[in-house]
Chain A
Amino acid sequence: MAVQQESQPIAAERTSTPGIAVRPEAAVAAERSGSRWGEMALNGLTILYFLFALFPLVWMLLLSLKPQEQLFTTYFRFSPTLAAYREVLGTGGGGSDFLRFFLNSLIVAVGAVLISLLVGVPAAYAFARWKFLGGESLLFTLLSFRFAPELMVIIPLLVIYRRIGLFDTHLGLIWVYQLITLPLIVWILRSYFQDLTPELEQSALLDGYNRVQAFVKVAVPLIRPGLAAAGLLAFIFAWNSFVFPFALTGSNAQTVTVGSLSFLGGATPRYNLTAAAALIALVPPLLLALSIQRFLVRGLTFGAVKG
């Protein structure tokens, strides 16, 4: 057991070699057995699933490029136009609330993740390192925020928010988003901290660091991959949240998810606008994922596959 603990950070070092992606075990096994047929079948299945999973996105892309008249055709012939994007972004001179929604989403999601990290990293460390009275039930309570349906609490929350003036504010959304982001970050990072041998921090204590320094300068840098993975996941969940902003915002703090809906409200549903808006809204999580991809492959596998 001790050996496993010790080998974890090394595993992290090794997998950091760029270019070595994680391959499915089955693929490796098939290769070893030398079975070309097995390999081909596996590749075929992978491609099949790839198409299946990607189709809605492709359909959305096509939809966003269609002119209004051809919206409801189901064949793949149409005259592509960027009109939908122009209208969504307001670059056609009509003006648009979409950019404001987009900015709101950014502010709220980034703010929620930052606050969750600020609170969640020390909390995860404490949960991992010390047994304290009520620790386990506190952890479970945090988790229960994730499996309690949001709709259950939304009405009382709305009443409270209206009364204390948090309705339709960024702060209000950031606060309620903690229900989404904090449990995720605490639970993921706790397992990362548990994988670190406490001897590393103890060694730092002997070397002259105090507890806070041992935490900040020794433990936290070693779980950076976990930090990236947990942060990204939390961001995606916060970014995609619909129910909370739908109920708790008016026009001021409205987010992209709710804002995109407005294109469906008119006499004719304008699916092309909705599709364009959704695709644009896809950009920030995608960029974020790409920028921390180096950590992410390590992070997602490393944390999940533990001793």
Chain B
Amino acid sequence: MSERNGRSGARDLALDGLQKVFRRRGQGEVAAVAGIDLDVAEGELLGLLGPSGCGKSTTLRMIAGLEAPSGGDIRIGGASIVGRPPHRRDVAVAFENYALYPPLTVAENIAFGMRARKEPDAAARAREVAERLGIVDLLGRKPGALSSGQKQRVSLARAIVRRPSVLLLDEPLSHLDAAERDQTRRELKRLQRETGYTTVLVTHDQHEALSLADRVAVMDAGRLLQVGTPDEVYDAPANRFVADFVGEPRMNLLAGRILPGTPTGVFLSDQVHLLLPGLAGLPEHGAGGERAVIVGIRPQDIRLGPAADPGALPATVFAHEPLQEVGRLTLTLPGVATRIVVETHHDLVAARDEAVGLRFDPARTHLFDAETGERLAWSPNRPQNPSPSAPSRPLSRATSSS
């Protein structure tokens, strides 16, 4: 419990088979959280990412003690905290709606918990934390007179003034406008680094998770789908859901077939054959017969070239959206129902129905099993399991042509 630098006695958090089952009349049992195993190291910032209703908030509420788990264990520093009342868990929460008490000033709000526990020098500590967060000039104001960003900072101050073992942030940036969001995100990151709190950040916003978190845990329908560094999650999505959910614009996901006669590529349609050298090495591929897969390619990983390029896939322009910083091109591949989106250089000009050629980097092409949605461990240039520290993210920024 060193108090230097406002550091907490940060400790590690472990979720072990954590479950929450709600019983609703007429619906039977609904598993909001269906058995989660997760370890958050001391001082780590873990981003719990998922669409609304995926169980991430329920997970957070169980850690905080606001909801009782139906099964499994929650441990902080090795000791189980299940069954303890919220205030005896050494956990602090910054709530999505800030949950500031309207009749109290900012200073009183920050000191509220310490006063409730009758701790000494509450006012002094509240001031210290306010200084750290740059909100000293707000101390005398009431929450009604604050902007969303200021409220968020007060809420954060109230959480960290307790020097908790584990800090839980519930959608901390979701109610801020764009400018405030960028600023608060940077400050949050710096603060977390400086103070070294073990932090769980719950969010539905992938930017927030990818930019802030040391590791990201992607959740859907009560299950953890993938846990990894932002690079791992982005570069090697474990399944179709993660591939679809993480990344902006969304990854192109195209249905394709691998035919026994030509195991070196994927047929996206009768006319479109995507050559993927090394595909023959796909395990369990030798079974013979046709295999249905999903091909995933990020819009940033497709290179646009002239239609005459013999090695490129022919495509025609369906729509072009100039988004100023970048351009976004929607293209039709012959015989393929799903249109493909390509991010282009901002000054590219494309006319409707123009013919272009598309080149793919096999190393940046993902394959998923069409039935299970699981990632097919296939990699042409890299070892079988993609290395987590692959530095190759913008390997092939789409370049303009024509």
Contacts and interface: CB of A to CB of B under 8 A. Distances in A.
Contacts of A157: none
A93 B303 CA distance: 107
Contacts of A199: 95-99
Interface in B74-109: 85-87, 91-93, 95-99, 101-103
Q: List 3 A-B pairs, minimum CB-CB distance, nearest first.
A: A207-B113, A9-B102, A199-B99
A2 B85 contact: no
A162 interface: no
Interface string A180-221: 000000000000000001011011111111100100001001
B175 interface: yes
A169 B361 CA distance: 92
B111 to A, nearest CB: 10
Between A6, A14, A204, the greatest number of chain B beta carbons within 10 A of the residue's beta carbon is seen for A6
Interface in B166-181: 175
Nearest to A206: B86
Interface string A2-28: 110110011011100000000000000
B296 interface: no
B91 A206 contact: yes
A221 B102 CA distance: 10
B64 A206 contact: yes
Interface of A: 2-3, 5-6, 9-10, 12-14, 197, 199-200, 202-210, 213, 218, 221-222
B112 A202 contact: no
B144 A14 contact: yes
A206 B167 CA distance: 12
A2 B96 CA distance: 9
Interface string B107-120: 00000110011000
B222 to A, nearest CB: 21
Contacts of A197: 97, 99
26 contacts: A2-B97, A2-B175, A3-B175, A10-B102, A197-B99, A199-B95, A199-B96, A199-B98, A200-B101, A202-B93, A202-B99, A203-B95, A204-B112, A204-B116, A205-B85, A206-B87, A206-B91, A206-B93, A206-B113, A207-B116, A208-B116, A208-B117, A209-B87, A218-B101, A221-B103, A222-B101
A221 B97 CA distance: 19
A208 B113 contact: yes
Contacts of A14: 144
A13 to B, nearest CB: 4
Contacts of B95: 199, 202-203
B92 to A, nearest CB: 7
Contacts of B66: 202, 205
Given A12-B102, A206-B92, A207-B87, A6 B97 contact: yes
Between A5, A13, A197, A207, the greatest number of chain B beta carbons within 10 A of the residue's beta carbon is seen for A207
Nearest to B113: A207
B143 interface: yes
Given A199-B95, A203-B95, A206-B113, 20 more contacts: A2-B97, A2-B175, A3-B175, A9-B102, A9-B144, A10-B102, A197-B97, A199-B96, A199-B97, A199-B98, A199-B99, A202-B64, A203-B93, A205-B87, A206-B64, A206-B86, A206-B93, A207-B113, A207-B116, A209-B87
B188 to A, nearest CB: 19
Contacts of A202: 64, 66, 86, 93, 95, 99
